[in-house]
């Protein structure tokens, strides 16, 4: 397979080749480029900061072990997302996640925005965050993955299909069904 020298895929393959040849700086670059994305995705899927840190570390241990065998059938980012989603699935199958607030889902590591001056508005916002977090947590993992990858991470449908190893039509269906389930759960709020 031949790629233009400046293509992102060619750069990904070059990093994998350098890593396989023992160049430690290649893995350091992969880690620098993707560590934040991996941690954020883990946090959004499992809902606990410490658990997300553990999972992100495990993701990069696997990436380090297998980077030399990266074949370039997808982008390195997509491949790393796939590793991340698979590890999160495995962990979630053993343990129920606990999402605390919408802030946990939308901005891990950032301080919450300053609340407005009206205590009633702040209370209503906090209540809505709790309901949104609970609604997202209640989704089946397949829907949650698709919704988080699309609506929080901003991946394109074809990228999500590659990460989840399902057809694009399945991705569209899971996102639609996940969004509808979220709407239904939120409509039933008091």
Local confidence band at 171 (pLDDT 50, 70, 90 cut-offs): very high
For residues 167 and 43, the model is more confident at 167
Q: How many CB atoms are located within 10 Å of the residue 188 CB?
A: 9
Could you tell me how many helices (H) and strands (E) the chain has, helices first? Answer: 9, 0
Q: Are 164 and 85 in contact (CB under 8 A)?
A: yes
- Compute CA distances 34 → 25, 63, 88, 143, whole Å: 14, 11, 16, 24
Q: What is the pLDDT of residues 29-50, one digit of tens each?
A: 999 999 999 998 998 888 788 9
Q: What is the pLDDT of residues 119-138, one digit of tens each?
A: 665 555 667 677 777 788 88
Residue identified by tokens 């509808």 is 180
Q: Are 182 and 139 in contact (CB under 8 A)?
A: yes
Local confidence band at 152 (pLDDT 50, 70, 90 cut-offs): confident
Q: Write out the H or E segment, with its range, that includes residue 92.
A: helix 76-94
Length of the chain (residues)? 190
pLDDT at 126: 66
For residues 160 and 4, the model is more confident at 160
Determine the average pLDDT of the residues in 166-180: 96
Determine the average pLDDT of the residues in 90-94: 84
- Compute CA distances 127 → 53, 148, 158, 180, whole Å: 27, 21, 35, 20
Does the pLDDT of residue 102 top 50, yes or no?
no
Domains and CATH numbers, the chain: 1-98 (1.10.1740.10)
- Ranges 106-120, 135-149, 168-182, most confident: 168-182
Phi/psi at 105 (5° precision): -85, -35
> For the purposes of burial, counting CB atoms within 10 Å of the CB of 37, is it exposed (0-12), middle (13-18) or buried (19 or more)?
middle
Residue identified by tokens 């491949």 is 79
Does the pLDDT of residue 91 top 60, yes or no?
yes
Predicted structure pTM score? 0.70
pLDDT at 9: 80
- Ranges 11-20, 111-120, 169-178, most confident: 169-178
Q: Are 82 and 162 in contact (CB under 8 A)?
A: yes
- Compute CA distances 8 → 52, 72, 75, 114, whole Å: 28, 10, 8, 39
DSSP string, 151-184: IIS---HHHHHHHHTS-HHHHHHHHHHHHHHHHH
Q: How far, in Å, CA of 3 to CA of 11, rounded?
A: 9
Look over the chain and give the mean of its residue pLDDT values, rounded to a whole number: 81
């Amino acid at each position: 397979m031949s790629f233009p020298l400046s293509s992102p895929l060619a750069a990904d393959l070059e990093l994998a080749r350098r890593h396989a040849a023992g160049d430690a700086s290649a893995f350091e670059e992969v880690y620098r480029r993707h560590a934040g994305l991996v941690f954020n995705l883990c946090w959004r899927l499992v809902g606990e900061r410490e658990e997300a840190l553990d999972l992100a570390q495990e993701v990069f241990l696997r990436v380090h072990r297998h980077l030399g065998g990266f074949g370039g059938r997808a982008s390195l980012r997509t491949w790393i997302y796939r590793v991340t989603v698979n590890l999160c699935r495995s962990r979630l199958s053993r343990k129920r996640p606990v999402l605390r607030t919408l802030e946990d889902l939308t901005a891990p590591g950032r301080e919450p925005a300053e609340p407005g001056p009206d205590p009633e508005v702040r209370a209503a916002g906090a209540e809505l965050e709790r309901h949104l977090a609970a609604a997202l947590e209640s989704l089946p993992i397949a829907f949650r993955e698709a919704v988080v990858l699309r609506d929080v991470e901003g991946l394109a449908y074809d990228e999500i299909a590659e990460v989840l190893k399902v057809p694009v039509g399945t991705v569209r269906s899971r996102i639609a069904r996940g969004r509808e389930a979220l709407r239904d759960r939120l409509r039933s709020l008091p």
